[in-house]
Chain A
Amino acid sequence: AQTVTQSQPEMSVQEAETVTLSCTYDTSENNYYLFWYKQPPSRQMILVIRQEAYKQQNATENRFSVNFQKAAKSFSLKISDSQLGDTAMYFCAFFEGGAQKLVFGQGTRLTINP
């Protein structure tokens, strides 16, 4: 079974700084999708960024970018110029095509301080 591990339970940075959240996963599949989701306090889960495993180019969405290392099974999220609104739980997720489900990591609680 696929597993997703986020080794940083909590992180805290100052506004405007850059922060990187780590994620590793385990799979025997070759084609898959990886996602980062954001869950603000008491609010719903929002998709931040998506990476297809067959694409070598790292995905970017405005201030959010990923470092996808397929051989190392690593998928980190970089947030540049962090803003107060980035404060949230961040979940790394692996899309398991066979069972058609997302497998989530334990999450990283990110706090952006003014």
Chain B
Amino acid sequence: DTGVSQNPRHKITKRGQNVTFRCDPISEHNRLYWYRQTLGQGPEFLTYFQNEAQLEKSRLLSDRFSAERPKGSFSTLEIQRTEQGDSAMYLCASSPPGTSGTYEQYFGPGTRLTVT
């Protein structure tokens, strides 16, 4: 088990372009989360999947943002028509089923997005 992986690690894009990030959770984890972290701040929740179902979305997730987890394994986060304010680190985390009773989340290395 290699932990949570995210690709790409860095992305530089021009304003107005679309970008897509990928997250591969720990294999037996059915819960997957996306967070956004700006410099010097704590991560802010964006969305949550349990298996393939998207169960929670933050108000931070505007209509330019969409996330999917089609087969309950990897997840993608797409940002359309990027804006400079979208520049941030996008973190993915996963956790085991709720029956484990721990609720610990394991984070990936993040994708750093820079919008120019």
Residues of A within 8 A of B (CB): 4, 33, 35, 37, 43-47, 50, 91, 93, 95, 97, 99-107
Contacts and interface: CB of A to CB of B under 8 A. Distances in A.
- Which one of B33, B42, B105 has the greatest number of beta carbons of chain A within 10 Å? B42
B107 A44 contact: yes
Contacts of A105: 42
B44 A100 contact: no
Interface in B4-36: 31, 33, 35
Contact of A106 (B33, B42, B50, B104): B42
Contact of A107 (B40, B48, B56): B40
Contacts of B106: 47
A45 B44 contact: no
B41 A106 contact: yes
B102 A102 contact: no
Contact of B107 (A45, A95, A97, A101): A45
Contacts of A107: 40-42
